[in-house]
Structures are given as C-alpha cells and as structure tokens.
Structure 1
Amino acid sequence: MVKSNLIFRQLFDSDTSTYTYLLGCEKTKDAMIIEPVLECVARDLKLVNELGLNLIYGVNTHVHTDHTTGTGQIKKSFPNCKSVLGANSGGKADLYLNDGDKLLVGDLTVECRHTPGHTLGCFTFVLHEDRIAFTGDAVFVRGCGRTDLHHSCAKTLYHSVHSKIFSLPSDYKLYPAHDYKGMSVTTVGEEKVYNPRLTKTVDEFVQIMSNLKLDLPRRIDISYPANLMCGIQD
C-alpha cells in the first residue's frame, strides 16, 4: 500500500459546534483549512506553525449563518492564502469553484462537488486517495443541514446528497461541518442505512424538513453579512 501524503487534523469549536479541518501535504507542506472559525484562528494558526505548514487555501463549504469565518484573519498571517467559495454562493472570495473543479494542495488532489440545498452554493470536498469527504452542512452524522434559510431547498439537498455523496463508495469517511451530539465522523455506508432523514423518499424528506420549526441561528445577523465578505480584509 502506498503511504498517504495527507496530514489531517480535526478541530472543534464547542460554542458553535463547528468542525474545522486542516489538511496538509506531508511532502510539500502546502495546506488548506476548511471551515475556520474566527474565534479559533489563534489556535488554528498555532497548529499550522507547529506542523510547519504553508496555508494556500482557506475554504468554506458555503456562506455560514451560525459562525463567522476566520478566513480573513488567517490571510493576515498567510497573505498568499486564497479564500475559496462556490461560484454561486453569493459571497466574495479570491477563488470561486464550480462542480468538478479540483484543488491541488501539494501532492493532494481535492475534488469539489457542488451539493446545493442547504444553501445554493454548498460544496463537498473529496480526497479519493484517502477515501474521505468533507460534507459541510449537506450531511451530518445521522442528520443534515436545515433547509429553511437563504436559498435553501429540501428537494435539492436530497438529490445533491444522493447523487454526489451517497454515490461514493460505502467505506468513504464523511466529515461534517457541525455535530451536536458528540459524533465526529461517519461513512457513506452508515448514512445510507441509518440516517433518519436521508433514507426516506424525497417526498418524506421534504415533509420532515418542512416541519422542523427551528429557531434562527443566534448569530445570523452578524455572521451572515460578514461571511458574504468571506473574511476578506480590505
């Protein structure tokens, strides 16, 4: 078996239940960070420096409503780090993604799959060599992101998940953007059997999502406008 070049760290912000992922190339030391949280930037940069990594991408799977991205703050320490968003996310970024694009991080290849539904611009990031995917708010461990906010659509989310995520091999590990129940990772195979929402028919799924009656994210008035700027510092 060929040894993977992947350096991988999963970090957690307990205040917003957000996972941040640091992915680096062992050979070149180039790295990307997915879903950085503003209040955790000092922690993240300390780890980046301890590992001797060079951040070249600060990636958000979508424009979040529940926390403010740390991408802009990170760019102050790594001026060559490019902020990354989906092309139709509505937010500002240095680099915009379309379905099927690839991000090269040293010897790592990251496939970018457009998985809208939670928002119009959501993306899932897949590393086939390591058999892992970062699903943002499209798939949680035994759940999924809400579909009642900005440009959300339950039917679109259902089809995105089944065509772009559940189509991956069953052993691929899935890492979500959030978890509220103490879970950190799942697999395609597990979610295709045990996810209480996404195992239903599309009509049943739409009905479930329309009846969640969730409160608005407590930071939406601050986080959403800030994230439309993707943390870019003028």
Structure 2
Amino acid sequence: MIFRQLFERESSTYTYLLACSETRQAVLLDPVIETLERDMAVLQELDLTLAYTLETHIHADHLTSACRLRSLAGSKIACPAADALGCADLGVAEDRPLKVGALTLQPLFTPGHTDTHHSYVVETPSATRVFTGDALLIDGCGRTDFQSGDAATLYRSVTEKIFGLGDDALVFPAHDYNHRHASTVAQERERNPRLGGGKTREEFVRIMAELNLPYPKKMDLAVPANQLCGDCPDDTERALRALENKSIQG
C-alpha cells in the first residue's frame, strides 16, 4: 500500500492518500479545497490515478474538494450512504466496503459527532489502521453539540467499535491541533482525557456538556456546500476564504 498523510493548516485537517501499489489506483480521504493543487501534484509525483474521494462525514469546518477533483481527475465521489447525497457516485456502509485495486477500506459506522459519521479501517500485513475522522482525535474527540451530534452515541461508537479493534491498531484522526500525527487504540483507551482511563458514559456526557465551545465560524457556509460535495457557488467559496483570512489577521 502507498500511504501519505497530508495536512491543511487553516482547519488543521489531515487528508489521507491511500493507493494500491499494484494498480496505482488511489483514494483521497477527506480532501480540502485549499490543498487541491498540492493533492494533484502528489498524485502526479507518485504516478497514481485518483479513483475515489471519500468522506468520513459532512464537514463543518472546511470545504471538500471532491467535486473539483471529479472534474479535474475523473475520480468518483464516495461518502457514507446514510448521507444520501445526490452529488455522490457511491455510498459506502459497513456492508459495502470501498475497494481500490487490492486495497479495501472497511467502513465502520461511528455516529455521535454527526449521526452518519463513518471511520474507515485498512488492514495490511504490517498494521491495522483506523481513520477515525472526528469521532476520535489524539487525546480528544470531535464535539457533539451541533449537526446531529450526541455525546452518549459517540461514547458507544468509540468504546465499542474503535477501541475494539485491538491495542496495536494505529489511529489516524481527521484533525490535530498540536502537530501530532498518529496514536494507537491502546494509548487512547488508557489516557484520552475525555474517553480513556475507564471513564463511564455519564462522565463523558458531562465532560462534553461542559466544554462551552464557540459556534463554528464556517458551519453555516460549509455544511450546505459539503452537502453538494463542494459544488457550490463561487461566492460561497470566497466567503469561506474571507473567514479564513479574518481569522489569520485577527
């Protein structure tokens, strides 16, 4: 398997490139519009054909480049089938894995951050990798106070499904704000301050309720645009970039 972890600075988003080394067919997981040119350059450098873009969920903090990549690279758009997006070419679910050459991405239904959120498990001879989206972060997790989120549901998703993958499974989150790249199931089960150390569901629900996080500044623009797979009016993209510039200058 060919694997690259790519980072978008403004939203601290990781995009993952996974490809079959035999067929040179690739998938980009959670691509971001700001890094479109970079992603195209990496594909060219590695002599890969982009077969699919794939989403863990409908994002509230950035705009996906799925639709733009379909236009430029001829890739198909895959996303959780439960989202029922008219712009998608393929819906994935636990009983409908995504196959790219000899590579299989096994969807794992992990709601709680959103009610259709999926993680993806990739098994290779050397490691089990789980791409956890916003369900499980390094020493944290995605918020549950908007966009169909539910703390008790997220607790079950992480403790019963992700933590059940085995201690050595490598955890690759959708975001990290402290320049960390990966973790393990064992590490998160032991020391995650929200979900680890044997915390009960009630303790987790209380922790999440007491976070008092600000309203996501891009949510009202990003969610509708991502429900169109990023095929949004130019003024939406300009407005999202203006919010980024304001954040940098402020």
TM-score by length of 1: 0.94
- 1:91 to partner: Cα distance: 3.7
In the aligned structure 2, how far is the partner of 1:187 from the partner of 1:203? 24
Partner of 2:149: 152
The 8 Å contact of residues 69 and 231 in structure 1, kept in 2 or not, is answered as yes
Matched, 1:168 2:165: yes
Q: Per-residue displacement from partner, 1:48-105 (whole Å, max 9, x unpaired)?
A: 11111111110110000000001111111122x1111112235442111222321111
Partner of 1:9: 4
- 1:109 to partner: Cα distance: 1.3
SS at match of 1:167: helix
Q: How many residues align?
A: 228
Specify which structure has the bigger relative contact order, considering alpha-carbon pairs within 8 angstroms and separated by 6 or more residues: 1
Q: For 1:27, which of 22, 25, 32 is the aligned residue?
A: 22
Partner of 2:237: none
Structure 2 spans left out of the alignment, 5+ residues: 234-250
Q: Percent identity?
A: 43
The 8 Å contact of residues 106 and 122 in structure 2, kept in 1 or not, is answered as yes
The 8 Å contact of residues 171 and 185 in structure 2, kept in 1 or not, is answered as yes
- Opposite residue 43 of structure 1, the aligned amino acid is R
SS at match of 2:82: coil
Partner of 1:3: none
Matched, 1:68 2:67: no
In the aligned structure 1, how far is the partner of 2:36 from the partner of 2:97? 25
In the aligned structure 2, how far is the partner of 1:151 from the partner of 1:95? 23
Within a 5 Å distance, the mapping from 1:190-209 to structure 2 comes to 190-199=187-196, 200-209=199-208
SS at match of 2:71: helix
TM-score by length of 2: 0.88
Partner of 1:139: 136
Indicate the RMSD between aligned Cα atoms, in angstroms. Answer: 1.4
In the aligned structure 2, how far is the partner of 1:13 from the partner of 1:86? 22
Q: Runs of 4+ in structure 1 displaced over 6 angstroms?
A: none
